[in-house]
Amino acid sequence: MITRGKKILVVDDEENLRHMMQIILSREGYDVAVAEDGLRALERVQRERIDLVLCDIRMPKMDGLAFLREMPHEEGRPIIIMMSAYGTIETAVSAMKMGAYDYISKPFQPDEVILTIKKAFEHQSLREENRELKRRLSENTASSVEMIGESPPMRRLRTLIRRVAKYDSTILITGESGTGKELVAKEIHARGGRNVHPFVPINCAALPENLLESELFGFRKGAFTDAKADKKGLIEEADGGTLFLDEIGDLPLSVQVKLLRFLQEGRIRKIGDVAEVDVDVRVIAATNQDLERAVAEKRFRKDLYFRLNVIQIHVPPLRERLEDLPLLAEHFIKKYATRHKKTIQGVDPAVFEIFMDYPWKGNIRELENAVERAVLLADGGVIRVSDLPEGLMRQRDRDESGAESPLTLKEARRKMEKEMIQRVLRITGGNKKEAADALGITLRSLQYKVKEYRINI
């Protein structure tokens, strides 16, 4: 509740009013303090944590407007609500310009004061949430990596990335194909101390064994038939930065031996060379395979596995973070509409119904491909079911004549959000606290959305 732990200071030279407000506000659950003038009020604000000040305008020693002038305007100062029996529009405007949140004229009803105070705290809470969202947006923008989502799994993933990015330890990223393991690696690189140096990725499954070794370690002129000049390997290209080894489970055993030696000694030897070169890189590997099983089947070296698996980060599949789907879909719609110079004004509600029911075995990559196709095929500025890939179609034919009207992107996101809240509330048996935790939002935010969407529990 908003009242819990909130402290209010009532400032008025009338003892009866101070006493009355102390009783009324204490009944509402607030911690209430009192002061008889502006000077005493300033002293209390300086030595105590005060969340809100209810202050009279006319008082001896220091009046309300003088008190307002003396109050610091830094972030985190108390909310100030003014009150006076001699209220004029000019006084109210002056008080608001000087930083007061609101203004109440005496005499007033207790309910009027209580409602004003509650609105003030709600306004403060929304401003704090807005500041937090801006901070997160700033962090995401700074890294230039598109890690989209506010679900609990994504928030846990971001926290882990922040904790490990500053260290140089080897990291193994696991997760299904298409979950965004390379994005995670880029985010770690962007947040670490090596971000001014190269991020060099290589897909270990994309090259044959003989080419993979030369690509990683480089070669000297004449080392083999086509070696017409010296060539740096990707490990050396990444010197000072980060080497990202994608699909590490497909690395041939012969190359695994050389990679292990490099990880242990920090030196490489190019093909056809007798000298070794010191190279300083952070290695991040990724796989969609079960490497412990690969070790048991002798397809992957145990010592290399332990060397790579110093810190393991698991990237959740899309089906475990469906609450992020509206944000992801909206992002990809805007991205490909801009890229292909298309105007997308709305989305058929049935499209999001299909998205929610689909298993997404290809994860984020599959969603992105589906959205790009839909944007390209969309006619009249509206994405419809017929624009989706065949694999996403429902097995039954839709009666288009009975379909709902197209939604704007904002409306489509609201629809998805409502459906997600309803689903989680059903799972938790209507327990709002558990549902809020599962959705990754505050209980107050959930209560607001339940009321906004008229969700019956």
pLDDT in tens, 374-433: 999 998 889 988 888 888 865 334 434 344 556 666 677 777 788 888 888 887 888 888
pLDDT higher at 343 or 403 = 343
Q: For all residues of the chain together, what is the average pLDDT?
A: 85
pLDDT tens per residue, range 238-295: 999 999 999 999 999 999 999 999 999 999 999 988 889 899 999 999 999 999 999 9
286 with 435, same domain: the answer is: no
* 143 falls within a domain: no
- CATH code of the domain in which 77 resides: 3.40.50.2300
Q: Which has the closest alpha carbon to 271: 217, 234, 226, 211?
A: 217
Residue 144: its pLDDT value, please?
A: 42
Backbone angles phi, psi at 18, to 5 degrees: -60, -45
Q: Which residues contact 40 (CB under 8 A, 6 or more apart)?
A: 11
Could you give the CA distance from residue 33 to residue 151 in angstroms, rounded to a whole number? 40
301 with 163, same domain: the answer is: yes
Strands 267-268 and 277-278: antiparallel
CB-CB contact of 251 with 291 (8 Å): no
Residue 401: its pLDDT value, please?
A: 38
Could you give the CA distance from residue 421 to residue 390 in angstroms, rounded to a whole number? 29
The last residue of one of the domains, among 272, 289, 316, is 316
The counts of H helices and E strands in the chain are 18, 16
- 299: tokens are 């397809």
Could you give the CA distance from residue 420 to residue 41 in angstroms, rounded to a whole number? 47
* 329 falls within a domain: yes
pLDDT tens per residue, range 316-325: 999 889 888 8
Could you give the CA distance from residue 224 to residue 344 in angstroms, rounded to a whole number? 54
Q: At residue 392, what is the residue type? A: L
340 with 393, same domain: the answer is: yes
* 295 falls within a domain: yes
- The CA distances from residue 312 to 133, 174, 181, 285, 391, in Å, are 28, 7, 12, 10, 33
Alpha helices in 276-397 (DSSP H): 291-296, 302-308, 325-339, 349-357, 363-377
Backbone angles phi, psi at 198, to 5 degrees: -65, 150
Residue 402: its pLDDT value, please?
A: 42
CB-CB contact of 141 with 133 (8 Å): no
300 with 192, same domain: the answer is: yes
- The CA distances from residue 14 to 144, 232, 340, in Å, are 58, 83, 69
140 pLDDT above the threshold of 50: no
350 with 446, same domain: the answer is: yes
312 forms beta bridges with: 172
199 forms beta bridges with: 242
**Measured between alpha carbons, how far apart are the two ends of the chain, in Å?**
19
- 184: tokens are 């995670």
What percentage of the chain has pLDDT greater than the value 90? Answer: 40
- CATH code of the domain in which 201 resides: 3.40.50.300
| 116-130, 172-186, 291-305: segment of lowest average pLDDT | 116-130
Residue 172: its pLDDT value, please?
A: 97
* 419 falls within a domain: yes
* 424 falls within a domain: yes
The last residue of one of the domains, among 94, 129, 164, is 129
Residue 5: its pLDDT value, please?
A: 74
Residue 167: HSE in the Cβ half-sphere, 13 Å Cα cutoff: 10
86 pLDDT above the threshold of 60: yes
Residue range(s) defining the domain that contains residue 442: 320-452
- 455: tokens are 């969700």
Domain count, the chain: 3
| Torsion over CA: 270, 273, 274, 275 (sign) | negative
Total residue length of the chain: 457
- CATH code of the domain in which 328 resides: 1.10.8.60
Q: Which residues contact 26 (CB under 8 A, 6 or more apart)?
A: 32
* 13 falls within a domain: yes
170 with 196, same domain: the answer is: yes
pLDDT tens per residue, range 171-206: 999 999 999 999 999 999 999 989 889 999 999 988
135 pLDDT above the threshold of 70: no
99: left (phi over 0), alpha (psi -120 to 50) or beta: left
pLDDT band per the 50, 70, 90 thresholds, residue 130: low
267 with 400, same domain: the answer is: no
208 with 290, same domain: the answer is: yes
> Is omega for the bond preceding 389 within 30 degrees of 0, making it cis?
no
* 386 falls within a domain: yes
285 with 188, same domain: the answer is: yes
Backbone angles phi, psi at 71, to 5 degrees: -70, 135
Report CA dihedral (184, 187, 193, 196) to the nearest 10 degrees: 120
337 pLDDT above the threshold of 50: yes
Angle at 59 between CA 58 and CA 63, to 5 degrees: 75
Q: Which residues contact 178 (CB under 8 A, 6 or more apart)?
A: 362, 363, 364, 365, 366
pLDDT band per the 50, 70, 90 thresholds, residue 446: confident
124 with 203, same domain: the answer is: no
Biggest CA–CA distance in the chain, Å, is 100
DSSP letter at 50 equals -
252 with 285, same domain: the answer is: yes
Could you give the CA distance from residue 146 to residue 158 in angstroms, rounded to a whole number? 12
Q: Which residues contact 215 (CB under 8 A, 6 or more apart)?
A: 202, 207, 233, 234
Q: At residue 384, what is the residue type? A: R
Give, for 103, the enclosing helix (H) or strand (E).
strand 102-105
312 with 324, same domain: the answer is: no
The last residue of one of the domains, among 274, 300, 316, is 316
- 324: tokens are 């992020």
* 292 falls within a domain: yes
